[in-house]
Chain A
Amino acid sequence: MSGLDPIASQSSPGPACAKAPRDHGHALSILHQIRHALGILIETGEETRIDLNAMPFGPGDLERLTDVLGRGEVQASVEALGPTLIQETAIPGVWLVDYRGTEDQRLTLHIEIALTPEILRPRPEDLAESIATLDSRMPRRDLEPGDSPPTS
């Protein structure tokens, strides 16, 4: 897999017979939904997730949507159960989260309207174990009584 670019590339290829992808109007309705969710995020901090897999997109709809959203500065990847590719859009607070399987096939594609996508944050259960994890990784030095601590 090369880089973090495949978010729109796995969308429908479109019918070979179509001269040019037509606008089926679905991208616009999602954009309105994102706009509404942004308002809620700004006002109350409440996050929204939109499952693009559940949308009856026609050929070109996903590309139209991602074109409007554009690309922001942040890209990230999480390796767990295959890669998850995260792309900030040009709209702050709007993220594309592309969940992929171990063979790089798309499991689902979400738009998250949030400060940071949930999958990037440590899980609370993992956070609770973090000090113990660090301790277990620190080099152990069994100090004799009277030894001075290491100086460098």
Chain B
Amino acid sequence: MAARKTPEKTLGESLRDHGLSRRGFLKFCAATTSMMALPPSLAPAIAAALETAKRPSVIWLSFQECTGCTESLTRSHAPTLEDLILDFISLDYHHTLQAAAGEAAEEARLQAMEANKGEYLVIVDGSIPGPDANPGFSTVAGHSNYQTLMETVEHAAAVIAVGTCAAFGGIPQAKPNPTGAMSVMDLVKDKPVVNVSGCPPIPMVITGVLAHYLVFGRLPELDSYGRPLAFYGQSIHDRCYRRPFYDRGLFAESFDDEGAKLGWCLYRLGCKGPSTYNACATMKWNDGTSWPIESGHPCLGCSEPSFWDAGGFYEPLSVPLTLRPETLLQAGAVGAVVGGGLAALARKKVKDAAGTRQPVTVEELEQKL
């Protein structure tokens, strides 16, 4: 993977060089528009913008991570579209995917940074041991993750934090956070940071953000956690196909009861859908086959800050303890308004739980081992 100044060819020219017909391009634009969660009526505008889009240089840094985010992207089931977008960006550095190793790899990163100063994008997956942590917890080429990150973002146009670890600290930050793990936005304060959270994030969302940058030449509109509103603007609960059961107070009480078999709401089984913002309900997983709630499993809330420390996945922590099942049923019977109220209570409950939880010390952990 040689570092290079990004070539001057536009995406339109590049696709035609690949032998893509104009109908093929139209189809590419229809699929890209869908991927960006925009209405199909915008496809012609997207086509015009993509026709003239320039190829950006991308440096992908992997820190304390499990490679699940890269796997999510590279194993995605939309190879044509993803490949075209990925082919079009100049991926100048990526530990897992690049052929170069050792000093040659680091040289490629430095060259790409130099050649595309102020214009390149940095994608980060994984959390970073902070400046006060022992740098030895995670190093690349003898440099601490913190050093590498700060050096690389210095002349970047923007940073995209892919996955909940990079976005919010993730599993490495779970209490007692032995490595002092921090998120990208904890550390990078002077560059735009986009958080594409999820454990892992939906692959189409990762490429959707890149496509947005290609089409509009700027980053998408973000929510208060720095996530693109187009994908994280609505809660799982708001778009869940089981919502009518929630509104009628029909809940599965265990994984094999009659309610579960009838596909009722999974709220009482610990579903974090009401406090989770992500696009799973529409984009789904595995080639649009299904998603956790559709396969009968409550949402874990993996795209939310602190989901790893927010109590048991299967405990209906979000159900206010003062509300008895009958109360919930009555609440359900009066419909969505009360349902929305419960969801709001659930969101507050999760926040409170995260706020009041006591850190576990290493000594305590060792005692339990």
Contacts and interface: CB of A to CB of B under 8 A. Distances in A.
Given A18-B261, A107-B78, A84 B27 contact: yes
Contacts of B27: 78, 80-81, 84, 99, 107, 119
Contact of B26 (A48, A102, A118): A118
A103 B79 contact: yes
Interface residues of B, number: 44
Interface stretch (A8-16, A66-74, A88-96, A136-144): A8-16
Interface in A98-125: 99, 101-103, 105-108, 110, 118-119, 123, 125
A106 B204 CA distance: 13
B31 A119 contact: no
A125 B22 contact: yes
A51 B40 contact: yes
B77 interface: yes
B261 A101 contact: no
Contacts of A106: 287-288
A120 to B, nearest CB: 9
B37 interface: yes
A72 to B, nearest CB: 21
A80 B296 contact: no
Interface in B270-324: 281-284, 287-290, 294-296
Contacts of A50: 40
B241 A51 contact: no
A57 B193 CA distance: 32
B49 interface: no
Contacts of B101: none
Given A57-B241, A107-B78, A108-B30, A22 B22 contact: no
A51 B80 contact: no
Nearest to B84: A81
Contacts of B288: 10, 12, 53, 106
Contacts of B175: none
B148 interface: no
Interface of B: 20-24, 26-28, 30-31, 33-35, 37, 39-41, 43, 77-81, 239-242, 244, 256, 260-263, 281-284, 287-290, 294-296
18 contacts: A12-B284, A13-B289, A14-B294, A24-B242, A49-B41, A51-B39, A53-B282, A54-B34, A58-B241, A58-B263, A59-B263, A78-B23, A80-B20, A80-B21, A80-B27, A101-B80, A107-B34, A119-B30
